[in-house]
Structure 1
Amino acid sequence: MAILLRLSRLIDLLNERIARAAFWLILVMTLISTGNAIVRKIFNMSSNALLEIQWYLFSAVFLLCAAFALQKNAHVRIDVIYGKFSKRTQIWIDIFGTVFFLFPMALIILKLSWPVFMSSFHSGETSANAGGLLLWPARLLLPVGIFMLILQGFSEIFKRVAFLAGRGPDPTEGIAGPSEEEELAEEIRKMRRLAEGEGK
């Protein structure tokens, strides 16, 4: 169990570092989009390559951060029934969902996407748009992102099995944190209390 937990920590660290690097792509994407819009408005010029690189970067952020979202329990979850169960039942549901839903879906996508990438890479496929970019880097993002998601799935199972065996902490505790809306509401309450304190 100690080896599995150590492996889980390594997977978590890898996916966190990849995601934190991918966060910077949002800034790059924003700068490219802004620059493209300014050039188009001022000089009446545009570039298909600049438009396509924005799509590539968006895909990179989405796919390279998917595993990190799973690690932080930030993916979409319907808690209407799940939240009514005991913690141990919730953990078993997580394991069941990972093994019977996440893994089969991810493996099918991985199996189907890898040959598409290889074909694109060997043929040097480029976009059909004039001045477009090579397509294989974008096609590579899908199998890489899905592979990292599979690794994170194993990490989540290791943590949950350790918890059920009494050998690890609750893997869901303290992950989600308050939502942005909850944080905003708390800030508004603080400001209101501050204003009421000054008015006295």
Structure 2
Amino acid sequence: MPKFIVLYVKYVDAISIKIGRAVMYLIFVMIGVLLLGALTRNVLHMPLSWTVEMAQFIITAYYIAGGAYSMILREHVRMDLIYERFSERNRAKVDVITTFFLVFYLVTLLIGSISSTMYAIEYGQRNFSQWNPSMIPIKIIMVAGIFLMILESVAVFFKDLAIAKGIKIS
């Protein structure tokens, strides 16, 4: 593989790993927020209106920002009925083809998420609830996470292409 492809894969993987390992701790933040909500509601009898919604935002950031990391680990969902019976090289050939569908899907998501984020910024979009939080931060995280998944999809494509050709680049 050309040197620029090897460098691309190396740097995108490094970024995805750093972000993925950082955001995996958000699960503990979410548990803390939900625990706080349960304690204030059941022990102090002063329910906090924002805890469930904040937990939803945290878990959304968790899976959106961690998507590229799960691709590196090959832990994303796939149908394994036939795929697992293939050799590593044949799986890579199938993945080279299916990556185009994934990138098309992610680009479509990115276009929609950018449009949604621009709307949120332009109109100061807020969630319709008692807490009434701004939607801008989670939508920016959504755009960044989808963009990182596109970058990682291209890196995975190059890795699979190399495996299909009988070489490894990472």
TM over 0.5: yes
Listed one character per residue, the Cα deviations across residues 56-79 of structure 1 (whole Å, up to 9, x for unaligned) are 000000101111111111011222
Listed one character per residue, the Cα deviations across residues 35-72 of structure 1 (whole Å, up to 9, x for unaligned) are 11101112222223222111100000010111111111
TM-score, normalised on structure 1? 0.78
Moved more, 53-62 or 152-161: 152-161
C-alpha displacement of 1:3 = 1.7
Q: Give the number of aligned pairs.
A: 169
Moved more, 114-123 or 81-90: 81-90
Residue 57 of structure 1 is matched in structure 2 by 58
Q: For the aligned residues, what is the CA RMSD?
A: 1.6
Residue 127 of structure 1 is matched in structure 2 by 127
% identity of equivalent residues = 24
Q: Distance in 2 between matches of 1:19 and 1:54?
A: 18
C-alpha displacement of 1:108 = 0.8
Q: Does 1:158 align with 2:165?
A: no
Q: Assess if the C-alpha contact under 8 Å between 1:47 and 1:131 holds in 2.
A: no
Moved more, 73-82 or 89-98: 73-82
SS in 1 for 2:74: coil
Q: Which of the two has higher C-alpha Rg?
A: 1
C-alpha displacement of 1:166 = 4.2
Q: Distance in 1 between matches of 2:87 and 2:44?
A: 62
SS in 2 for 1:80: coil
Q: Distance in 2 between matches of 1:147 and 1:67?
A: 9
Residue 107 of structure 1 is matched in structure 2 by 107
Instruction: Show structure 2 runs of 5+ residues with no match.
Output: none
Instruction: Show structure 1 runs of 5+ residues with no match.
Output: 172-200
Q: Assess if the C-alpha contact under 8 Å between 1:39 and 1:45 holds in 2.
A: yes
Q: Distance in 2 between matches of 1:155 and 1:136?
A: 29
Does 1 or 2 have the higher relative contact order (CA < 8 Å, sep 6+)? 2
Q: Assess if the C-alpha contact under 8 Å between 2:61 and 2:141 holds in 1.
A: yes
Moved more, 133-142 or 64-73: 133-142
Residue 38 of structure 2 is matched in structure 1 by 37
Q: Distance in 1 between matches of 2:138 and 2:54?
A: 9
